[in-house]
Structure 1
Amino acid sequence: MAEALSITPAAVLRNLADKLYEKRKNAALEVEGIVKQLAAAGDHDKITAVINLLTTEFTYSSQVNHRKGGLIGLAAATVGLTSGAAQHLEQIVPPVLNSFSDQDSRVRYYACEALYNIAKVVRGDFIVFFNQIFDALCKLSADSDSNVQSAAHLLDRLVKDIVTESDQFSIEEFIPLLRERMNVLSPYVRQFLVGWITVLDSVPDIDMLGFLPDFLDGLFNMLSDSSHEIRQQADSALSEFLQEIKNSPSVDYGRMAEILVQRAASSDEFTRLTAITWINEFVKLGGDQLVPYYADILGAILPCISDKEEKIRVVARETNEELRAIRADPAEGFDVGAILSIARRQLSSEWEATRIEALHWIATLLARHRTEVISFLDDIFDTLLKALSDPSDDVVLLVLDVHACIARDASNFRHLVVFLVHNFRIEPSLLEKRGALIIRRLCVLLDAERVYRELSTILEGEADLDFASIMVQALNLILLTSSELTELRVLLKQSLLTAAGKDLFVSLYASWCHSPMATISLCLLAQAYQHASSVIQSLVEDDINVKFLVQLDKLIRLLETPIFAYLRLQLLEPGKYIWLLKSLYGLLMLLPQQSAAFKILRTRLRTVPSYTFSGEQLKKTSSGNPYSQMLHHLPTGTPIAEDGDRNQDLGSAQNGINFASRLQQFEHMQRQHRMHSRSQSLSQSRNSTSSNLSQEAPRPEEPRHPSTMPDLNRIPSRTSS
């Protein structure tokens, strides 16, 4: 210190701490001259002493003006050193950098000015301090003082020029600092950072693309900045990097894919669009490299398919198709279970388009990796069943396609039908609203006979009798009306003629017994008219309720449809189909006369031609029972079979349907239903009574007035009587 004081005149030191800038400036020029002379003489020890004096007594002083003078003095000393300044930078730069955080804005301003002058002299030699300088400039870019910001910007431009021309800059050492600063929210800092990223990326010798995963997330963060200028700069930088990726032979797609997946779910529309665009390019460029990330990528794409912004929807759909077109193997890291998990999760999406694409993925996986998908069946099966309640018919149809694909195996087929019946049981609205659609579609996809046989087997032993009756009625209506079940109806019509028809009839009959009207319908369809008549005759009072009459009304109207045209044509030969007529008249007698169904059926029966009954003319009367007239006027010798129509007798003999046993089966089932119904009524009555008693406490009986009391003396005793 003493040596430095002896070298530097007291007046210079005094002026260096003066409050007037001009005096400090003149003193700095004196310091520059002193250092220049010492440098020329090669006396670096004295130069070191002078720098230490400026540092300890000025830049670290508690006096503001001293600190200002110290900064301008250090810059002057560097200028005086010229080419020899490099060996003294370890003394000069740290005090200047320390002043960047000074509380006084003017000191911070002079620090920027000082470092600017130092950098101009030493150029690339100060790269060793780059990270500290970058960190300081990053903070100053958001300085509260506009003058300091302006000074920092000037210094920043100079540092950028030096870095771009220097071969000593280490990108590896800089990236951790950049990554740390990318999370700062200040718009000034963000602008500063994007500027540096753009500059460094423009330097041919600096491989910023290789380090892109380290700061990619930060750039995407900036896309949603409130400043339009920052959003533009970030978008421009990202566009440039994407173009470089397209032209680069080797890119780390995996790390960046993880970032893009997260950004595709951003609440900011522009960020989502940019992320999904990048994902689209990644799938096209590096499909095989992305195999381990397919599930994550799919999880990002599927929601975007239903995005409110059309541009995002278009890119997402294109990406989805590109991804599905890539055939990957589990041996290559393709995780079928993860993809299924994503698809299952998206089946709960509120958007129909997303749910549909999720189902397409499940179908695709089934087609390509059936064994692996079946192994995960327990994880997705319940969700697929719940999807049958989807409000969209398109979704339900696709779900059924997936179910049908799964159910190709016998065990899975049984599994599907059992769970389907279970869902119908616990969710009656599903059966009511979607039952017909589901059953019809499954019949197309899995063979109608197979589906109906399995359903019948399950319903035969159904413990919930009310549900079984409702389910059978629904199945029966589908059987009688759906075009998809035409072949099944044709087969049933041959029940009395072919073994296949007989076997199907017997199989369905076991569960159809849950509903009298379904049983009668099945018999009419199978042309087992005598048995239909027997079933009608077996009905008791408890069977004929409102529900029965509603079902009967539906059947009467169905008899007028093209499906039962063959039956109506058979009425042209009443002598041959006597039990058909008896069955129809039996149904007529069960209908209330005032009902529309009664009028429909009566009108139909009145059209039965009389000339087919006998050779002699049938007496025309305006009253009387046409059925009794028909029996009276049958040709002499016409056999009236007790076991069925003439053709039915032949069919029964050939196929061996034991209709007596079937009737017992029906009556047994109906007794179970009646007992169940009575049990329910009794239970409801008890509950109602219990409820009433709990709501109204019992009151003691009040004594009756003497005039209203019976005279016990006037009541005759048993002995007197």
Structure 2
Amino acid sequence: MNPTILSPAIIRMLHDKLYERRKVAALEIEKQVRSYANEGSSIQIQETVTLLARDYTLSQNPNSRKGGLIGLAACAIALGSQNIQPYLESLLKPVLICSSDQDSRMRYFACESLYNIVKVSRSDTLPYFNELFDVLSKLSSDPDTNVRNGSELLDRLLKDIVTETPAFDVAAFVLLLRERFYTKKPHTRRFLVQWLICIMSIPEIDTLAFLRELLDALFLILGDSSKEIRNMCQNMLNEFLVKIGDTPQRVDFNGMINIVVGHCQSPDTLIKGTALEWLHKFIKYAGPQILPFASGIVGAILSTLACEEPEHKNVKETAKMANQSLMKLIGSNYDQKDQEHESSLPLKEMVSVFKQYLYSKSTVTKCAVIRWISHLLVQIPYSIFNHIEQLFPEVMRMLTDHADEVVLKTLECLAEIASSPAGKPIDSKLSVGTRQNLNASTQSLTSPLVLNVYFTKFIHHLLELFKTDNNLLEVRSTFIIRQLCALLNAENVFRAIAEALCVEGKKEDELFVDGENPKFCAHAVKKINSILMTSSELQELRDKLKNGEGSETSDFFCCLYKSWCHNAVATITLCLLTQNYQQCCQLLNKFSDFELTVEFLLELDKLVQLLESPIFAFLRLQLLESPCRRYLTKSLYSLLMLLPQSRSFDTLCHRLNCVPNPHLLPELSEHSNSGNRLDDVDFDELFQHFVTVQRQHAAFRKHKRLQASAAIHAT
């Protein structure tokens, strides 16, 4: 190498501390190199570039390094775009090294030198794009404002070159972005997002092909503290969504869905809201393609619905829309009747998600879970029934929830379980009538009712809940039973409850009401009888008991009677409703053999009030012309004699005093001797059953008193 390639004057000025002197030297170098280029003296050009790189830009003297930088830029300008390519690496490498110098002024001059070199070389610079991009990403967050401003000029120039060059390697560039996208430096984030916006503006580049590599980091950048960066990132994500909607067939939904699902659970409201919007669009554009990921999607939606903060209101609305869209994708075509083959849906994972979010504190979330289970029971009953043993106890537990909406949805879900065609049908007298369809898309609002074994399990579990939670029995039982009657036919519900109350002890694999606890049975019958007698929804059932004929009505009456025997007043009420007045007389006369407790007298008081209600208007009219008025009148007088002097006594007495003289009433026919309307019922057997049950109750009360007395003496 010729050390005298530069004149002593140029060398002296390159080492000078004044910028103006170094600039004069650079102009001289430019003239000299241009002369070499015109003469084709490539050796002299290379020697000049090498000398500046080695002896100046790598010098320990800061002024010399600055002189080397401006000298290399002068060489590039002198060479021009036609001649620079062979020397480009020698020009760039030393300048790139100086760009990381500790001196901010040195970094600024390096930016200036790079700008001049790149401006001349244009597309020839692209083989060194990675090195340039790496330097720019660092300079974009430089603490010195002048350096950042200088890097922005170079950045814009490089973007112009990339935009106008069709041969730009996008795949390699995406790898560069992905490596740096997880930075938390705001300036670097802004730099990276701006570059991605630049690439997206090039029509020839299919950025959707690389979206999977960048999506996770973009969502993280969306949570930046800078409003400007957040807005830039959000606008870019919105633009990506538009592109996805235009060409969904080119989108790797399966590769990105888990990324979106993960960010749906972000604590940042903007990230969460944007991710849910993406999730909603993915469901819309991808359709059934994303169903294998349904468990994760459902989990993301349910966790969002559990958010109670006011700022999450719009986010929750988006989650609801996404939830509805996902539910619509699951139709009956996904059902597997063959139990040996699993459904193509991730039902096992979905069931785990359902169980998890049924413990949520959010009413909206719990309702959404129960709606999901009901939807699957309607659309894919056979597939979901493979997991029903896990779901059934969890759904039953929701009956104790504090929110009426949750309880209502739970009852609808349990009705779907109990009447699902996938369950084993009940071999009994249940399954009569029709039931309402919960699926609004079905053509008919009602369908034939076929109950399965889970109906029996449901009733037994319900009575167990009533037994262990007295508040549930007192406060919620009316609401629960009325809804069940609307969903599963009132006769089915009351028959099943009556049969369960009749069972004593426990049998393997089934839960029954404990026969050793008659107090609960009496209280339950009292409550259920009140529902039967007063609920407007049960008018049809009362009419059947009151006026129905044939063996079916008689059988139903006997079923109720045997369990109603746990409560004496309820039994009397049932006999009065069914117009079996002779049996009523027999029962009332037997009361003299039993202890008349205060609770019993209070129930008689309520019975008198019930007899004055419109429900028993037929009974009051029968005092005038019914062929069985003899036993009816005797029953009411017997009831009057049992009552203490009270307002109810006065009410009933006044009512009986209103009955005209028997001589003024129509003569009783020869067929009026029978005081029971149901003539195919063995009332003697029923009476003996009543006596037996009441004696058990009497023995139970005596046992309790003895226990209480022993406890007092023990203390």
Q: Normalized against structure 2, the TM-score is what? A: 0.84
Letter in 2 for 1:647: S
Aligned runs of 1:616-635 on 2, under 5 Å? Answer: none
- Cα deviations across residues 237-259 of structure 1 (Å, max 9, x unaligned)? 22322222222242222333333
- The match for 2:692 is 668
For 2:15, the equivalent position in structure 1 comes to: 17
Matched, 1:657 2:682: yes
Distance 2:696 2:107 in 1: 97
| Match of residue 186 from structure 1 | 185
Which shifted more, 4-13 or 454-463? 4-13
Q: Distance between the aligned counterparts of 2:180 and 2:712, measured in 1?
A: 73
- Provide the rounded CA distance (Å) in 2 between the counterparts of 1:232 and 1:240: 12
Mapping 1:146-161, distance limit 5 Å: 146-161=145-160
What aligned pairs does 1:346-425 form with structure 2 within 5 A after superposition?
346-408=357-419, 409-425=451-467
Aligned partners of 1:10 and 1:466: how far apart in 2? 117
The 10-residue stretch of structure 1 (252-261 or 34-43) with the greater mean CA deviation from structure 2: 34-43
CA separation of 1:115 and 1:540: change in aligned 2, threshold 3 A: farther
Question: 1:534-581, CA deviations, whole angstroms, 9 ceiling, x for partnerless residues?
Answer: 333333687432322332222111111122122222222598433333
* Distance in 2 (alpha carbons) for counterparts of 1:444 and 1:584: 33
CA distance in 2, matches of 1:198, 1:168: 18
**Compared with structure 1, are the counterparts of its residues 383 and 91 closer, same or farther at alpha carbon in structure 2 (3 Å cutoff)?**
same
More deviation, 425-434/172-181: 425-434
The structural deviation recorded for 1:446 is 1.6
Mapped to 2, the partners of 1:466 and 1:175 lie a distance apart of: 75
Partner in structure 2 of residue 283 of structure 1? 283
CA 577–140 in structure 1, closer or farther in 2 if over 3 Å, else same = same
Q: Choose which of 629, 645, 651 in structure 2 pairs with 1:577.
A: 629
Query: Quick one: which amino acid aligns to residue 657 of structure 1?
Result: D
Matches within 5 A, 1:52-451: 52-82=50-80, 83-248=82-247, 249-301=249-301, 308=310, 311-312=314-315, 315-328=318-331, 329-330=333-334, 333-339=344-350, 341-342=352-353, 345-408=356-419, 409-451=451-493
What's the counterpart of residue 529 of structure 2? 476
- Relative distance call for 1:92 and 1:422 in structure 2 (3 A) is farther
SS in 1 for 2:205: coil
Tell me how far apart the structure 2 counterparts of residues 203 and 614 of structure 1 sit (CA, whole Å).
Answer: 103
Q: Give deviations 1:21-61, integer Å, cap 9, x for gaps.
A: 22322333444455445555655556555444434443333
Tell me how far apart the structure 1 counterparts of residues 520 and 46 of structure 2 sit (CA, whole Å): 100
Equivalent pair of 2:96/2:132 in contact (CA under 8 Å): yes
Secondary structure in structure 2 of the residue aligned to 1:144: coil
1:413 to 1:33, Cα distance in 2 relative to 1, 3 A: same
Displacement after TM superposition at 1:174 (Å):
1.3
Q: Distance in 1 between matches of 2:711 and 2:142?
A: 79
Cα distance in 1 for residues equivalent to 2:5 and 2:481: 105
For residues 255 and 546 of structure 1, do their structure 2 counterparts lie closer, same or farther at Cα, with a shift above 3 Å needed?
farther
- Mean alpha-carbon deviation: is it higher for 515-524 or for 297-306? 297-306
TM-superposed deviation, 1:155: 0.7
Checking the alignment, whether the CA contact within 8 Å between 2:640 and 2:653 is kept in structure 1 is yes
Aligned to 1:604: 655
Give the CA deviation at 1:415: 2.0
1:28 matched to which residue of 2?
Answer: 26
Q: Tell me the secondary structure at the aligned position of residue 403 of structure 1.
A: helix
Match of 1:646 in 2: 673
What's the CA shift string for 1:377-419, capped at 9, x where partnerless?
1222223222323444344333222222221242121122122
Q: Distance in 2 between matches of 1:343 and 1:606?
A: 63
Change (3 A) 1:135 1:672: farther
In 2 relative to 1, CA 638–321 (structure 1 residues): closer, same or farther, beyond 3 Å?
closer
The two structures, once aligned, show a CA RMSD in angstroms of: 3.2
User: Kindly tell me: are residues 542 and 614 of structure 1, through their superposed partners in 2, closer, same or farther at Cα, counting changes over 3 Å?
Assistant: closer
CA distance in 1, matches of 2:598, 2:529: 18
Contact 1:493 1:501 in 2 (8 A): no
Distance in 2 of aligned mates of 1:437 and 1:614: 43
Assess, with a 3 A threshold, how the Cα gap between structure 1 residues 145 and 316 changes in structure 2: closer, same or farther.
same
Distance change (3 Å), C-alpha of 1:67 and 1:677 = farther
Residue in 1 that maps onto 2:556: 504
Q: Is the 8 A contact 2:565 2:693 kept in 1?
A: yes
The structure 2 residue matched to 1:522, chosen from 570, 574, 584, is 574
- 2:431 aligned residue: none
- Structure 2 residues without counterparts, runs of 5 or longer: 336-342, 420-450, 505-512
Give 2:26's aligned amino acid.
A
Q: Where in structure 1 are there 5+ consecutive unaligned residues?
A: 616-634, 693-721
CA contact (8 A) 2:583 2:683 kept: no
State the 1:189 CA deviation.
Answer: 1.9
Q: Does structure 2 conserve the Cα–Cα contact (< 8 Å) formed by 1:139 and 1:189? A: yes
Q: Match of 2:659, as an amino acid?
A: V
Which residue number in structure 1 is paired with residue 597 of structure 2? 545
Aligned partner of 1:705 in structure 2 is none
SS of 1:7 mapped into structure 2 = coil
| Residues 349, 355 of structure 1: 8 Å contact kept | yes
Is 1:124–1:168's contact at 8 Å kept on the other side of the alignment?
A: no
C-alpha separation between the residues in 2 aligned to 1:253 and 1:124?
35
Contact 2:576 2:584 in 1 (8 A): yes
For the 8 Å contact 2:279–2:322, the answer to whether it is kept is: yes
CA 339–169 in structure 1, closer or farther in 2 if over 3 Å, else same: same
**Residue aligning to 1:623:** none
Paired residue type of 1:604: R
* 8 Å CA contact 1:201, 1:209 repeated in 2: no
Task: Write the letter of the residue equivalent to 2:125.
Answer: F
Query: After superposition, where does 1:529-568 map in structure 2 within 5 Å?
Result: 529-539=581-591, 543-568=595-620
Matched-pair contact (CA < 8 Å) for 1:400–1:438: yes
Distance in 2 (CA, whole Å) between partners of 1:685 and 1:54 is: 112
Does the CA-based 8 Å contact 2:624-2:665 persist in structure 1? no
Question: Would the aligned equivalents of 2:222 and 2:233 in 1 still touch at CA under 8 Å?
Answer: yes
Structure 1 CA distance for aligned equivalents of residues 178 and 705 of structure 2: 75
Q: Which moved more, 1:233-242 or 1:474-483?
A: 233-242
Q: Does 1:487 align with 2:540?
A: yes
Report how far residue 159 of structure 1 moved: 0.7
Structure 1 letter corresponding to 2:293: Y
SS of structure 2 residue aligned to 1:162: helix
Mean Cα deviation higher: 314-323 or 222-231: 314-323
Which structure has the greater CA radius of gyration? 1
1:39 touches 1:81 (CA, 8 Å); kept in 2?
Answer: yes
User: How far apart are the structure 1 equivalents of 2:55 and 2:207?
Assistant: 43
Identity across matched positions, percent: 40
Structure 2 residue identity aligned to 1:326 = L
